[in-house]
Amino acid sequence: FPSHDTQQGGRGGERKFYGAMAGWRFTDKPYEVDVVFLDTGRVVRIWVRDYCQACAEGRVLIDLSPLTILAGGLTLGQGRYKVELREVPADK
C-alpha cells in the first residue's frame, strides 16, 4: 500500500487507521476492512496490518489504533467497544 509521511500517520509513515487481528501474519499483505462502531453507527475503513495476541486468545475481535477509535466517535480508555467488520471488495 502507498506510504504516508509522518504528518499523515505517525512515526515511520504508518497509517492512522489500522488494526491488528489474529489471522494476520507478518508475511501477509495488509488488507482493508470497514469497522462499524455499533454504538455510534460510524464506519471507518482501516488497514489490517499487524498480529493481535489478545485476538488469538478470543478476548477481542480486533485491536484498533487510537485514531480509529476516535474516528468512530468513541472515547479512548473506555474498555471494549462493540464493532462489526465488513469485507472491502477487491474492486473498490
pLDDT of residue 14: 56
pLDDT of residue 89: 85
Under a CB-based contact definition with an 8 Å cutoff, are residues 15 and 9 in contact? Answer: yes
- The residue-averaged pLDDT of 49-54 equals 93
Q: Average model confidence (pLDDT) for the chain?
A: 84
Q: Is the pLDDT of residue 9 over 80?
A: no
6-10, 56-60, 62-66: least confident range? 6-10
